[in-house]
Structure 1
Amino acid sequence: MRRRGRGDAAQVIPPASPVDEAVIPANSAALLAAEQVDGRRAPESVLPAEWVAARDKPIPPALGWRMPGAGRAPFAPKLTRWVGSTAQVSGLYPFVLSAGAPDFGVPVGIHQITREPVSLDVGEYLRRGLVTNVGVYLTGEPGTGKSTIGRRLMWGLSLFGVGVMVPADLKGEHRQLVEGLGGTCVTLGRGLHRINLLDPGPLAGVLDQAPPAERARLRQEIQARALALTEGALTISSGRPLDDSERLGLALAYELFGRRRPSDTPTLSDLLVILQEAPEEIRAPLHTADAAEAQRLLRPLLVRLQLILRGPLAGLFEGQSTFSIDPRTPATSLDLSRLVAGADDAAVAIAMLAAWGWASALVDAGQVSGFRRTWVQFFDEFWRVLRAGSGMVEIGDQVGRIGRQKGVQALMASHAFADFQALATEEDRAKAVGIIARCSTAIVAAQPQSELDALSSIMQFSRAESALIRSWAAPPTWSGETQHPGRGRFMLKPRERIGIPVRMLLAASERPYHDTDQAWR
């Protein structure tokens, strides 16, 4: 800053300096400027030490030197936020700086345009008011990296203390990650582990720890969940929902077993025996005159139970469960890959439904025992259970309905939105679309225009966003060593917000966890 007096020469006013710092000589700036102009070197004694050290270096570019350790950054740092009236800030429009990508949560990649790092954690998004729920819908063509970004999120969230859960691993591709996190993997299938549809799972071990009032509520929750799982299994195996008499008979048999053997867990065989006996406790609520009439009324239900116990599903869901899971485990996975290889679609759908119920019980058990934490669940091929039979959308929604109120963020993956529109009835299609529409965030990988048109019913894409997603789905050339153009590219789309195009990069240490083509090597 300069001060001029009438007839006086220009004078440099030095800045105020703390007492313990040396005052820069008044002519230092002038000497340094002159040196830069005509090449003269200023005397060493009149320049600060830091100026002497920097004097022999050329002036760096705006973003620093493009070399390791030189401080170069690919994007400008975020600026301080200022608020003003339209009249005050109108001269700044159009704004040339973006609003910035979220930088809290798990790093999932870099912004494809600004090169900013992008992070994702819908739980943290909820805390900061960016979303209203913690559901995430993940969709894209096969081979574009849906499972990869799912594992990245699970891995990163586990480092924040979030529990990781894969309720139904159909391909066994998440086992390595779960075991690497120190978690528990259970493989279901013939000759391996089996699961009892009526088993309360981890809740059985912590039921006695709950207060008496809470214990009564938990028993009702266990009963409702067990009956929903059994009803879903019977619906899948026979292809039609249960009628009112069958549902009532199933509930009466479950309650009667609990009164007879309160300390034991029932199995499907136990319920079958009670229904065949048709005692007075069963006949009276059904308004039947005798056991013969009750058996005639319940005959379709008896046949359905026999079909699971003796038909193609024999041995998979009969008897007590052969495994248990500690609610404090850092990660867990129910591996259905052996079951998928040797069973029909009905068995896979029933196993997936049972695994969802088990996962829900695991979350509840942790809360009852006082070990409170948040969870992330990865539902791969979410549509398979919903398409297993009429009415499965409602049952699946009841079994797996654990979200914001219980601290669980769900990642629901599917190849295409059309999977949910192919359900048998209009009612099921509407409910399935509703489940996806309630997700506050979508992660969209490469998709054709037809899929984007279908998705537009629940979320809006701008022309630029649609064009970018379509470009990722463009077929590559026939030249060798050419990967899918959309692999590792995603559009992070929170509802009613502008999408963030992300390119995901894998570190060398995590590549072995994401190799799903090992069978072809």
Structure 2
Amino acid sequence: MGLGLKRHQRSSTAPVRGLSPSTAVPPPAGERGPDALRAVRRLRLPTHRATSDVLAGAYPFLAEAGLGNEGVYVGQDAWSGGGFCFDPWELYRQGVLTNPNCLLAGVVGKGKSCLAKSLATRSIAFGRRVYVPGDPKGEWSVVARAVGGAAIQLGGGTPNRLNPLDPGPRPNSLANEQWAQLVQSRRRVLLGCLAESALARPLASVEHTALDAALHEAIAGADVPTLPRVVDALHSPTDAVPGATKEELTRDGRDLAHALRRLVKGDLAGLFDGPSTVTFDPALPMISLDLSQIQGSDQLIAMVMTCTSAWMEAALTDAEGGQRWVIYDEAWRLMRQPALLARMQSQWKLSRGLGIANLLIVHRLSDLDAVGDADSEARALARGLLGDCSTKIVYQQEVSEASRTARELGLTSAERQQLPDLQQGEGLWRVGQRSFVVSHAVTTNELAAFNTDVRMTSLARDRF
């Protein structure tokens, strides 16, 4: 013991070999010599491979770096603690996204409407405009007026009337012939969608012919055709067309005439039965069409939104109109109408060329079960809309819905486990192939305009 202690005392006071007397730190590899306790061989560990789920538990100290600071500030990244910004146009430019379209899903009362309104209003500061083709609950009217836009209310005895066959603003880049063909095609597609929605079935070939003939007659009788003129021409055509006499056109268009009459003399009378009494100003920061005074079935609401979206379509198809949000609130109602789904899919496909970012807001993905049969074209169109959304934002889902949502959106097991535990204002963001859990931050002024629970509670928080 004594010799060992003396040896230790001498080695602790003696200078380390290879170092100057003033250096108190040994070499990185340690001292050399028989008393250095160094291994004979260098330590080497084999490479370990594992899934991201396993590695997250083994080494939970890594977090996603975020999407950068370009675009709208949304809130706080719950995993990294940093700020979270989002801009679909900037991310598309960087190659992070393949398209600018977004899906927003979540149960009632968890803040998804507040998030949609924040994205819309904060984007206006970046020069974007916002269009809401149909607002069934009237929640966007306050928001539109607050940012200097317009909220056009339809129904409920209001004098406002829209003619869905209006040509709309004309792009400067189109020649006369091109513009005439575009307007004619747009009107024809609109009437076909309305007829299929009203009849709840696809049109027969002879019905397409009768509708074409009626539209042509309505255009010949006025500079701007109206739906009453089309209905009258279906009931009583004045001219035959190649392959069909007047009597045959009357017979073939009978069901069409009675179906479209609903927009003229039925429960939608006064909305679309004459020239427009309001104008569409594409220069406004936000335009919302308030449908809260219209009561009826989902089919009726879908027909109304078909007309209103067509009224805005001319401005949307203007490639010089800049970057715009198009927000489909309560979209679960629209997804039950195959004709309207086809129109929406076309707009989704053209979004990149037109500078449009579509935002589809639904409650849960099981609403797809109400879209046609399991193998129907309508179900395929609905799933196609989801597939054409590179950004998927999912707020809290019920436990019974989590697996279905994960399967429809292609979420990982770790992402699926997050869905039932998300708190109010928290959402799982799937941006391309990257995932984030983001806590939405709202200012006091925003909350006053966005809050949809004002009648349920008098308490408001500035963060949820």
User: Is contact 2:218-2:226 (8 Å) kept?
Assistant: no
After the TM superposition, which residues 168-317 of structure 1 pair with which residues of structure 2 at under 5 Å, given as runs? 168-192=134-158, 193-201=160-168, 203=169, 206=170, 209-212=172-175, 215-261=176-222, 264-280=223-239, 283-285=240-242, 287-288=243-244, 290-317=245-272
Q: Alignment partner for residue 429 of structure 2, among 473, 488, 492? A: 492
Amino acid across the alignment from 2:359:
L
User: Is contact 1:229-1:399 (8 Å) kept?
Assistant: no
Percent identity reads 28
After the TM superposition, which residues 96-495 of structure 1 pair with which residues of structure 2 at under 5 Å, given as runs? 96-103=61-68, 104-192=70-158, 193-201=160-168, 203=169, 206=170, 209-212=172-175, 215-261=176-222, 264-280=223-239, 283-285=240-242, 287-288=243-244, 290-339=245-294, 342-365=295-318, 367=319, 372-388=321-337, 390-398=338-346, 402-425=350-373, 426-472=376-422, 486-495=423-432
Structure-1 separation of matches of 2:348 and 2:224 = 22
> How many pairs are equivalent?
404
Structure-1 separation of matches of 2:249 and 2:312 = 36
The offset of 1:335, in angstroms, is 0.9
The offset of 1:491, in angstroms, is 0.6
Deviates more, 1:310-319 or 1:156-165: 310-319
1:327–1:105 Cα change, 3 Å: same
The offset of 1:304, in angstroms, is 2.0
Residue number in structure 2 paired with 1:46: none
Amino acid across the alignment from 2:190:
L
Tell me the TM-score normalised to structure 2 length.
0.80
The offset of 1:270, in angstroms, is 1.1
Tell me the TM-score normalised to structure 1 length.
0.72
Q: What are the ranges of 5 or more consecutive residues in structure 1 without an aligned counterpart?
A: 1-7, 12-86, 473-485
Deviates more, 1:424-433 or 1:216-225: 216-225
Q: Secondary structure in 1 aligned to 2:95?
A: coil
CA deviations over 1:400-437 (Å, ceiling 9, x no partner): 75411100111111001111232123221111011111
Structure-2 separation of matches of 1:303 and 1:166 = 30
- Runs (4 or more) in structure 1 with deviation over 6 Å come to 8-11
CA deviations over 1:485-508 (Å, ceiling 9, x no partner): x210001112333x1011112222
Structure-2 separation of matches of 1:167 and 1:297 = 32
1:146–1:335 Cα change, 3 Å: same
Structure-2 separation of matches of 1:164 and 1:284 = 43
Residue number in structure 1 paired with 2:455: 519
Structure-1 separation of matches of 2:95 and 2:348 = 25
Q: Secondary structure in 2 aligned to 1:492?
A: strand
Amino acid across the alignment from 1:519:
R
User: Is contact 1:360-1:400 (8 Å) kept?
Assistant: no
Structure-1 separation of matches of 2:96 and 2:73 = 17
The offset of 1:111, in angstroms, is 1.2
User: Is contact 1:257-1:271 (8 Å) kept?
Assistant: yes
The offset of 1:258, in angstroms, is 3.0
User: Is contact 1:194-1:316 (8 Å) kept?
Assistant: yes
User: Is contact 2:71-2:87 (8 Å) kept?
Assistant: yes
1:127–1:175 Cα change, 3 Å: same
After the TM superposition, which residues 65-80 of structure 1 pair with which residues of structure 2 at under 5 Å, given as runs? none
Structure-2 separation of matches of 1:186 and 1:309 = 20
Amino acid across the alignment from 1:194:
R
User: Is contact 2:101-2:348 (8 Å) kept?
Assistant: no
The offset of 1:163, in angstroms, is 0.8
RMSD after superposition? 2.7
Deviates more, 1:437-446 or 1:458-467: 458-467
Structure-2 separation of matches of 1:392 and 1:329 = 26
